[in-house]
Amino acid sequence: MPFPAVHPALDRALANKGYAEPTPVQAAVLEGLGEQDLLVSAQTGSGKTVAFGLAAAGSLLGEAETFGPADAPLALAIAPTRELALQVAQELSWLYAEAGAKITTCVGGMDARKEARALNFGVHIVVGTPGRLKDHIERDNLDLSALKVLVLDEADEMLDMGFREDLEFILEQSPPERRTLLFSATIAREIATLAKRYQRDAVRIDATDKSRPHGDIEYRALRIAPNEIEHATVNTLRWFEAGRAMVFCSTRDSVRHLQASLLERGFASVSLSGEMGQRERTDALQALRDGRARVCVATDVAARGLDLPDLGLVIHAELPVNRAALLHRSGRTGRAGKKGVSVLMVPHSRRRKAERLLAEAGVEAVWQGAPTFDQIRKADEDRLVAPEFFEAEVTDEDMILAKRLIAERTPEEIAAALVRLRRADLPAPEELSDPGADRQPQRRERVRSEGGDELAPTPWPGERLQPDEVTWFRMDIGRNRNADPKWLIPLICRVGGIAKPQIGAIRTFPEETRFEIAKSHEKAFRDAVAASNEEVKITPSEAPTPGSFKRARREDGEGARPFVKKPPFKRAEGEGGEARPAFKKKPYQPRAEGAPRPAGDKPFSHAGAKKPFKPKPGFKEGGFKKTGFKGKRPS
């Protein structure tokens, strides 16, 4: 359906911008248009900014064609991040351009004095972040006495970021008769509590389609080895060849490291994190918008509220912490009716968490291995011979040069040069190993040698690898250095560049540890161990046999001799070759009453068991003498 008439100035702005039909959230807001408060839940990227801009028009303009002279602000829009606030201000600027609205922003990282001067000169609409708005109110730069409409955009994110106190302060400083429009992706308990406290008879609008959650986003989960996240990210970017892509990491250090790795491999990439200044963030976003950069590596907080054009791919290099983070990350793509792909990198040890996140979010993902080297090369060849590659318009100058090439070179030489130039612009894909699907863990059991000595505390419950599928290795760490599978497995994975599923049984001995490695990864493991600088020495080995590693006893500091059980103790023979009689303890025989005591047997006296008591000075019979040590016996 077309946009209904809201206000002449806004209707012209929508027509000039090419808005023909409203989105579901815009249609829902316009359908119940009035002077009530609104509590709206809608997915990220559904056109909420235009929706609340249209909803506020009646309260701000009324029957007037344009705004009057600018003074104290009539509308205040609060957003969680600087980027989102600037985007909201940009959207409202063209929407209210023909109405003569004067709009200013108050966001962190910008010149606060410049913002204060703009507020003092008078504005109609203010867009800002909670912290900076609170600061201007406390400094008497922002007067909310004339406020008619207050908008909370992405309210759930603001609460997650810890802005509750700032929001409550701003709401309490505004007039109680204002309209409050609250927009949120989800209406959690905290949002409902906030709405109940600061809204009056709010109209509840749910613009989310629960029967088809995120229908424009395709979810994929890639099984990868824990040490191949960077390589899998490179191959995923190469496989999809999206116009713009965003890669999410959990920490600033991870963002910095991954972005440097992508730059080294030839990707035009930028990064966004909390440690960057506003100028750096602005330059990075501008590079993405004008096409100088194709990949953005960011943290969750830094990327909130971003609206990048043609963002077709989102990669979760590190899994999000919860369901909301997954939806907010993925919501950067699949916006405004466009299709997008959300890819989760799932190491073997994080499979359960990934499944739980997807189940809580109500989405289904396709599980598969990461794109391999051969698959990417095949995709490159298909793109090179695709009809779209040859359907571009050719200028006369290009045709003249093409005819010259045909005259001077053979078709094979021209095609080879084309392939070479094409591949030179593409980063090389990486070699990856597919950890495979889930397997059944081994049953824990005790392993003992023939002599009863325990070979290992227990086999590690990893992959059930058959004897003909493994190769044995040894490392010079044993029980003498507290060897334990809990830290041996991460060590083996780090040194050998493999994943836990490729490790079989582990046997710990007094001086060494032997372990199984899948034959499919034997060569890669040998090469990684040879190139490693770790102090642990890992070499090929034979399978341990029962009884071959019984406990040893040190004879000196250099060698060891096998444990030999000593024969039973025998008394040395006396002089003359005759054995001395063994000592026999006499049985107890009680002494008859009145019989004489044997010689040397002294009577036991209780009186002599302790020293006689000698009172010290100050001791008083029947109590303690009053001294400086109250309640204590003086020493």
The CATH number given to whatever domain includes residue 188 is: 3.40.50.300
Selected residue with higher pLDDT from 620 and 532: 532
In terms of domains, do 156 and 277 share one? Answer: no
Residue 626 maps to a domain: no
Q: What pLDDT, in 10s, does the model give residues 235-248?
A: 999 998 888 899 99
Amino acid identity of 45?
A: G
Q: What is the domain extent for residue 242?
A: 217-376
Amino acid identity of 320?
A: P
Phi, psi of 288 (to 5 degrees): -70, -40
Q: Is the dihedral of CA 278, 280, 282, 288 positive or negative?
A: negative
- Does position 575 have pLDDT exceeding 60, yes or no? no
Mean pLDDT in residue range 336-363: 86
In terms of domains, do 169 and 21 share one? Answer: yes
> How would residue 381 be classed by pLDDT, with cut points 50, 70 and 90?
confident
Q: What is the DSSP string of 528-574?
A: HHHH---SS-EEE-PPP-TTTT--EEESSSS-EEE--PPPPP-PPB-
Amino acid identity of 54?
A: L
- Does position 611 have pLDDT exceeding 50, yes or no? yes
Tokens at 526, concatenated? 């040998």
Residue 468 maps to a domain: yes
HSE at residue 507, side-chain half, CA atoms within 13 A, is: 25
- Does position 345 have pLDDT exceeding 60, yes or no? yes
pLDDT value for 220: 93
From 540, 570, 602, give the residue that closes a domain: 540
pLDDT value for 463: 41
pLDDT value for 454: 38
Name the most confidently modeled range: 17-21, 251-255, 388-392, 600-604. 251-255
Residue 568's contacts (CB-CB under 8 Å, 6 or more residues apart) are: none
> How would residue 93 be classed by pLDDT, with cut points 50, 70 and 90?
very high
Site of tokens 């050998």: 496
pLDDT value for 76: 94
Residue 330 maps to a domain: yes
- Does position 64 have pLDDT exceeding 60, yes or no? yes
pLDDT value for 604: 54
Q: What pLDDT, in 10s, does the model give residues 38-50?
A: 888 876 667 788 8
Number of domains in the chain: 3
Mean pLDDT in residue range 262-268: 89
Mean pLDDT in residue range 395-409: 86
Residue 81 maps to a domain: yes
- Does position 211 have pLDDT exceeding 50, yes or no? no
Cα end-to-end distance, the chain, whole Å = 100
pLDDT value for 547: 54
Q: What pLDDT, in 10s, does the model give residues 112-146?
A: 999 999 999 999 999 999 999 999 999 999 999 99
Read off the DSSP letter of residue 158.
Answer: H
pLDDT value for 619: 62
pLDDT value for 249: 93
Residue 620 maps to a domain: no
Mean pLDDT in residue range 562-567: 52
- Does position 106 have pLDDT exceeding 90, yes or no? yes
- Nearest CA to 92 among 153, 31, 140, 147? 153
In terms of domains, do 227 and 101 share one? Answer: no
**Whole-angstrom distance, CA of residue 133 vs CA of residue 126:** 9
Name the most confidently modeled range: 25-29, 95-99, 499-503, 530-534. 95-99
Residue 140 CB: number of other CB atoms within 10 A?
A: 9
The answer to whether 308 touches 83, Cβ cutoff 8 Å, is no
- Does position 623 have pLDDT exceeding 60, yes or no? no
In terms of domains, do 371 and 484 share one? Answer: no
In terms of domains, do 196 and 320 share one? Answer: no
Name the most confidently modeled range: 389-403, 439-453, 606-620. 389-403
From 351, 376, 401, give the residue that closes a domain: 376
Read off the DSSP letter of residue 484.
Answer: -
The mean predicted confidence, pLDDT, of the chain is 79
- Does position 564 have pLDDT exceeding 70, yes or no? no
**Helix boundaries (H) for 241-395:** 252-264, 278-289, 300-303, 323-330, 351-361, 373-385, 387-390
SS3 of 303-329: HCCCCCCCEEEEEECCCCCCHHHHHHH
Collapsed DSSP state (helix, strand, coil) of residue 271:
strand
In terms of domains, do 36 and 183 share one? Answer: yes
> How would residue 349 be classed by pLDDT, with cut points 50, 70 and 90?
confident
Q: What pLDDT, in 10s, does the model give residues 130-188?
A: 999 999 999 999 999 999 999 998 887 788 778 889 999 999 999 989 999 988 877 77
Selected residue with higher pLDDT from 581 and 529: 529
In terms of domains, do 180 and 56 share one? Answer: yes
Beta strands 103-106; 311-316: pairing state: unpaired
In terms of domains, do 195 and 227 share one? Answer: no
Tokens at 602, concatenated? 């002294």
From 354, 376, 398, give the residue that closes a domain: 376
pLDDT value for 20: 76
- Does position 546 have pLDDT exceeding 80, yes or no? no
pLDDT value for 334: 77
pLDDT value for 556: 43
- Does position 442 have pLDDT exceeding 70, yes or no? no
- Does position 356 have pLDDT exceeding 80, yes or no? yes
pLDDT value for 134: 93
Name the most confidently modeled range: 228-232, 487-491, 556-560. 228-232
In terms of domains, do 371 and 252 share one? Answer: yes
pLDDT value for 1: 59
**Whole-angstrom distance, CA of residue 467 vs CA of residue 456:** 18
Residue 581 maps to a domain: no
Q: How many residues are present in the chain? A: 635
Name the most confidently modeled range: 298-307, 450-459, 564-573. 298-307
Amino acid identity of 575?
A: E
The answer to whether 341 touches 311, Cβ cutoff 8 Å, is no
Residue 596 maps to a domain: no
pLDDT value for 565: 53
Selected residue with higher pLDDT from 186 and 7: 7
Q: What is the DSSP string of 79-93?
A: -SSHHHHHHHHHHHH
pLDDT value for 336: 61
**Whole-angstrom distance, CA of residue 589 vs CA of residue 252:** 85
What is the percent of the chain with per-residue pLDDT over 70, rounded to a whole number? 78
In terms of domains, do 197 and 235 share one? Answer: no
> How would residue 447 be classed by pLDDT, with cut points 50, 70 and 90?
very low
In terms of domains, do 110 and 184 share one? Answer: yes
> How would residue 606 be classed by pLDDT, with cut points 50, 70 and 90?
low
**Whole-angstrom distance, CA of residue 479 vs CA of residue 456:** 10
pLDDT value for 585: 60
- Nearest CA to 235 among 271, 264, 265? 265
pLDDT value for 155: 84
Read off the DSSP letter of residue 21.
Answer: S
In terms of domains, do 366 and 506 share one? Answer: no
Say which range, 28-37, 174-183, 202-211, 359-368, has the weakest mean pLDDT. 202-211
Selected residue with higher pLDDT from 534 and 295: 295
> How would residue 559 be classed by pLDDT, with cut points 50, 70 and 90?
very low
The answer to whether 489 touches 508, Cβ cutoff 8 Å, is no
Per-residue b/e over 393-426, b at no fewer than 16 CB within 10 Å?
eeeeeeeeeeeeeeeeeeeeeeeeeeeeeeeeee
The CATH number given to whatever domain includes residue 452 is: 3.30.70
pLDDT value for 362: 87
The answer to whether 455 touches 549, Cβ cutoff 8 Å, is yes
Residue 470 maps to a domain: yes
pLDDT value for 415: 85
